[in-house]
Structure 1
Amino acid sequence: MSELDGIRLNFNEESLFLLNLSIAFIMYGVSLDLNLKSFKEVIKNPKPAIGGVVSQFILLPALTFLLVLIMNPLPGLAMGMILVAACPGGNVSNFFTHLSKGNVALSVTLTIIASFMAIIFTPLNLEVWGELLGNKKNIAVEVDFWKMMQTISIIIGIPLISGMLTRKYFPVFSEKAKKIIKSVSMIILLAIIVIAFSKNLDLFLKYWHYVFFLVLIHNLLALLLGFTVGKISGKTSADTKTITIETGIQNSGLGLVIIFNYFQGQGGMALIAAWWGIWHIISGLIISQIFNFRSTDKGQPASV
């Protein structure tokens, strides 16, 4: 076992509770945007949604596994990459899709669908690819599929259903609350990640060179994968932008929840997930500006 795999981040029970709560709160806010019309649009034109789901839950974990084999990082870092790839798209993807003039309705719908599917597919992908990785690197990978699915159901499934019911039965409140909830929840999540960084600043400064380029390359490949799938399955450039962002922006907050609940805050995994949480905000802003620049450069209107 390497020195990195032996470290444990300073992250107490209160911080974990707040992280769980913020993820649940974010999912509740996201689901306030969803109505039956969104699902009807997906049913009428399912190809982009199917492409987005396949890109997130099948192609990205498989591509990540190949990347791990090629780059051969330390076992804990490798498992962190697999875990991030197994998580659904991050809710901040809706903001970046809007910023990119993408298909916001598709983005929100994909976020909801992916979040529900994550209840099964996140632990399943982690179990399948984690065990394959463990066999390749001779490390023991134990994933309690059912217990993990139960945890994800509580912090994602229940808030999503609650939000959809709120929108249906209390539409006026829902419309007023959703913008406030999204803003507040994002501030809370960002604050928790920043606080976690500050409490472990010495570790990040000591080991940053292990994670910086891994996350950079991993995220770039995820965005390129999403762009390729978007070109194939999307009907418009707005769909392509959306699928690109949905694939490249991962719910690393959920990844941290899983790490501290099931992997005892394993250092390599936590460093990858925590840096993803910061880096994908930076890359999301960059890709949004690139998309807008390309649209303007081609003489297209800013609103696609």
Structure 2
Amino acid sequence: MQPVDLIHLNFNPAALAVLNGVLAFLMFGIALDTRLDDFKRVARMPVAFAAGILAQFIALPAITFGLTLLLQPGPSIALGMILVACCPPGNVSNILTHRANGNVALSVSMTAVSNAIAIVAMPLNFAFWGGLHPSAAPLLKTIALDPLQMVGHILLIIGLPFALGLWCAHRFERWTARFKKPVRILSFLALIGFIIGAIAGNWRYFLDYVGLVLLAVVLHDALAFGTGYAVARAFGLSDYDRRAVAIEVGIRNAGLGLVLIFSFFGGLGGMAVVAGVWGFWDIIAGMTLAGWWARRPLQGGVPVLAEERA
């Protein structure tokens, strides 16, 4: 069996182009379910929003970096973990927050704003932590990653579809109200289908190397949820808000990570296996946590001024 850092998973250019389109469609669906009030609402809960942004874009990548130093996985696995940590959240976090009896308004607002911030923050964060890593940095240098090129790619598959979705939601309100749910469900299922396709097309590699990444992914995912909750608690947020922040930080858009891995890293083995395993485990862990919280009453109850999406 070859070292995981030397293998490259197979994904032909045509399939990659379709995957880019699916991810853009997913971002369009998220934007259709986003209101301009979601951005304005941030100003009415600045402490909770600051906690979520700090946890996502600063605390989680730093803690992930520390975890890779502790576990000492292969360089490509370490890069995969760092990339996933730098990804923005997905809209499944909003569904899980509702299930967990958390602050859905905060979750929706954070998803919208975090995806906008990630256009610039994600490639810069990844370049910084990846370049700082003692074993992964030499591998990253051989790839000669250009953060500005990655920004352009993210802008095309996240920024433009997101802006178009916001415009459609504002300009065609009746159409949006009718189609936003089917679009969101269809795009999410299409993304899951392509993740499954990527794994199925490289099944032998996943069977050979999943054991190398499974423990790292499980620990990493648990740390992501824990980081969100701990930062929210440190900011003095209510249990209602802490649940939203924890799920928002714990749920990462591994599909975006997979697109970038095939686009910029040639399907590099450890990175692709980490993103593929994360894409499934993250949802399982999130559903388990949300279900557990759903059976536990909120500490202090629901704040009187809390807003929920209708």
Query: What interval of TM-score do these two structures reach, taking the shorter chain for normalisation?
Result: over 0.9
- TM-aligned CA deviation for residue 134 of structure 1: 4.6
Q: Which of 219, 237, 240 does residue 238 from structure 1 map onto?
A: 240
- TM-aligned CA deviation for residue 286 of structure 1: 0.6
- TM-aligned CA deviation for residue 136 of structure 1: 7.1
Partner SS state of residue 79, structure 2 = helix
Judge conservation of contact 1:126–1:143 (CA < 8 Å) in 2: no
Q: Write out per-residue CA displacement over residues 30-61 of structure 1, whole angstroms, 9 at most, x where no aligned residue.
A: 11222232222210221111111111111100
Give the equivalent residue in structure 2 for 1:129.
129
Give, in whole Å, the separation in 1 of the partners of 2:39 and 2:151: 24
Closer, same or farther: CA 60–193 of 1 in aligned 2, 3 Å: same
Stretches (4+) displaced over 4 A: 134-138, 298-301
Q: Which of 204, 207, 211 does residue 206 from structure 2 map onto?
A: 204
Give, in whole Å, the separation in 2 of the partners of 1:117 and 1:246: 14
Partner SS state of residue 143, structure 1 = coil
Q: Is residue 2:297 matched to residue 1:295?
A: yes
Which has the larger displacement, 11-20 or 169-178?
A: 11-20
Give, in whole Å, the separation in 1 of the partners of 2:157 and 2:55: 23
Q: Number of paired residues? A: 301
Give, in whole Å, the separation in 1 of the partners of 2:150 and 2:59: 22
Judge conservation of contact 2:78–2:136 (CA < 8 Å) in 1: no
- TM-aligned CA deviation for residue 211 of structure 1: 0.9
> Residue type of the partner of 1:173?
W
Give the equivalent residue in structure 1 for 2:164.
162
- TM-aligned CA deviation for residue 199 of structure 1: 1.4
Closer, same or farther: CA 136–151 of 1 in aligned 2, 3 Å: closer
Closer, same or farther: CA 25–140 of 1 in aligned 2, 3 Å: closer
Aligned residue runs from structure 1 range 12-23, under 5 A: 12-23=12-23
Partner SS state of residue 10, structure 2 = coil
Judge conservation of contact 1:249–1:284 (CA < 8 Å) in 2: yes
- TM-aligned CA deviation for residue 16 of structure 1: 1.2
Closer, same or farther: CA 193–136 of 1 in aligned 2, 3 Å: closer
Give the equivalent residue in structure 1 for 2:176.
174
Give the equivalent residue in structure 2 for 1:281.
283
Give the equivalent residue in structure 1 for 2:77.
77
Q: Percent identity?
A: 40
- TM-aligned CA deviation for residue 258 of structure 1: 1.0
Give the equivalent residue in structure 1 for 2:117.
117
Aligned residue runs from structure 1 range 78-93, under 5 A: 78-93=78-93
- TM-aligned CA deviation for residue 265 of structure 1: 0.7
- TM-aligned CA deviation for residue 165 of structure 1: 0.8
Q: Is residue 2:18 matched to residue 1:25?
A: no
> Residue type of the partner of 1:143?
L
- TM-aligned CA deviation for residue 24 of structure 1: 1.0
Give, in whole Å, the separation in 2 of the partners of 1:145 and 1:232: 32
Judge conservation of contact 1:88–1:115 (CA < 8 Å) in 2: yes
Give, in whole Å, the separation in 1 of the partners of 2:205 and 2:116: 34
TM-score under structure 2 normalisation?
0.92
Give the equivalent residue in structure 2 for 1:195.
197
- TM-aligned CA deviation for residue 139 of structure 1: 3.7
Judge conservation of contact 1:87–1:122 (CA < 8 Å) in 2: yes
Q: Which runs of 5+ in 2 are unaligned?
A: none
Partner SS state of residue 253, structure 1 = helix
Give the equivalent residue in structure 2 for 1:60.
60
RMSD over aligned CA atoms reads: 2.0
- TM-aligned CA deviation for residue 143 of structure 1: 2.1
> Residue type of the partner of 2:286?
G
Give the equivalent residue in structure 1 for 2:40.
40
Give, in whole Å, the separation in 2 of the partners of 1:15 and 1:278: 20
Give, in whole Å, the separation in 2 of the partners of 1:136 and 1:201: 25
- TM-aligned CA deviation for residue 294 of structure 1: 2.1
Give, in whole Å, the separation in 1 of the partners of 2:140 and 2:162: 34
Q: Which runs of 5+ in 1 are unaligned?
A: none
